[in-house]
Amino acid sequence: MSPILYVLVFLTAILGFEGAMSLWRDRSKTKKAAQQRLARMATSLQANNVNSDAEKEESILRGRESDEDLFDRILLSLPGARSISLTLYRAGLPMTLRRFALISLALAGVGLLLGNLFFPGSGVFCVFAGFLPWFRAKQMKNKRMQLFEQQLPESLDLLVRALRAGHSLSTALKLVGTELPDPIGIEFSHVAQEISLGMNMRDALDNLSFRVECEDLPFFVTAITIQMETGSNLAEILENLAHVIRERFKVYGKVRALTSMGRASANILAIWPAVMLGAIYLANPSYIEPLWTEEAGTTIIMMAVSMIILGYIICRKMAQIRV
């Protein structure tokens, strides 16, 4: 065994232990603890009356990374650190950038080690296992933002009822934060909390638009901003906006039904090579053994996997239609 592999084993053990401890600590936290962390992060967004997106991203990082040391400063100086931190926030993950980086490095080290042990010469490709946490975070972020968008019409209806009952807009926002579940309840609670602490209504709504990735939210913010400047029937505007969002969801559902064949084709084309490979292996193992016993076979496998992934992405993109 070469000295390099000993070093890889040592580093993988350390990073794996740290990653496992981070996962255990995150799993042991309750949903209430996660919501409290998100609340602290949200209140830090406008602690110094920031205006630009870069400054807001810096505020999120400061809210996440407490007790900053050399390792944290190195992470924050890397390109993409702000985007990762914002993605973790939008995904609702109570995880710091440090823990996320350690878990990613541990998975990359494990992939490199296992790749060199079982597939000699292909360990470099297995390093891409370190990107699995990023893909998972992106998936959770998309799911949480989609849930926010689905809850938005209901929250607008609640705002309309509260305004017509005589409540102020800030009280109505607080009511939405109290009555509705995560994620829209937490985000609207942040807005109400920022307003109660003396922040301007427009700045608080701008913070909401920055924290949440939702196509319909800017229309909501614009409607309230125009009503504050010119005056109008805000309840009627919000009611019409909720109706438009619901109609868009109906059209989106029809589009998904019409493009379901394309998505199913992408899934079948991605799974079918693995099914055929398994069937051939069960029928005649010696026929495909050169794929992992020969260097050329390993190269063919890597090229095939890359082409399958590329074809899957292309098929999925072709079946996606923005509404």
Place of tokens 């949480």: 144
Distance CA 63, CA 66 (A): 7
Residue 175, φ and ψ in degrees, nearest 5: -65, -40
User: What confidence score (pLDDT) does residue 158 get?
Assistant: 92
Residues 6+ apart with CB under 8 A from 86: 57, 60
State the Rg of the chain over Cα.
Answer: 25
Q: How far apart are CA 254 and CA 260, in angstroms?
A: 10
Q: Taking Cα atoms as reference points, which of 72, 77, 96 lies closest to residue 85?
A: 96
- Return per-residue pLDDT of the chain as tens, 323 residues: 455 555 556 556 665 666 566 556 555 554 444 455 444 444 444 444 444 555 555 555 544 544 455 666 677 777 777 788 888 888 888 777 888 888 888 888 887 777 777 766 665 666 777 888 888 899 999 999 989 988 999 999 999 999 898 888 888 989 988 888 888 999 999 998 888 888 888 888 888 888 888 888 888 888 888 888 887 788 888 899 899 989 888 888 888 888 888 888 888 888 888 888 888 888 888 888 888 788 888 888 888 888 888 888 888 887 777 65
Tokens of 280: 């051939």
Which homologous superfamily is 143-242 in? Type II secretion system (T2SS), domain F (1.20.81.30)
Give the domain ranges of the chain: 3-142, 143-242, 259-318
Q: What is the DSSP letter of 29?
A: S
User: What burial class does residue 23 get, using C-beta atoms within 10 Å of its C-beta: 0-12 exposed, 13-18 middle, 19+ buried?
Assistant: middle
Return the closest-CA partner of residue 305 out of 126, 79, 117.
126
Helix intervals (H) in the chain = 3-28, 31-43, 53-64, 70-77, 81-91, 97-118, 123-126, 132-164, 169-179, 184-196, 201-211, 217-230, 234-258, 260-283, 285-288, 290-293, 295-318
Burial of 317 (0-12, 13-18, 19+ CB in 10 A): exposed
19, 106 Cβ separation under 8 angstroms: yes
Q: Work out the number of other CB atoms within 10 angstroms of the CB of residue 104.
A: 19
Both structure tokens of 137? 């975070």
pTM of the model: 0.67
Residue 52, SS3? coil
Q: Which of 89, 2, 93, 75 lies closest to 45 in space, CA to CA?
A: 89
Q: Burial of 94 by CB count in 10 Å (0-12 exposed, 13-18 middle, 19+ buried)? A: buried
Q: What pLDDT is recorded for position 154?
A: 92
Residue 300 identity (one-letter amino acid): I
**Can you give the pLDDT at residue 19?**
57
Query: What letter would DSSP give residue 198?
Result: T
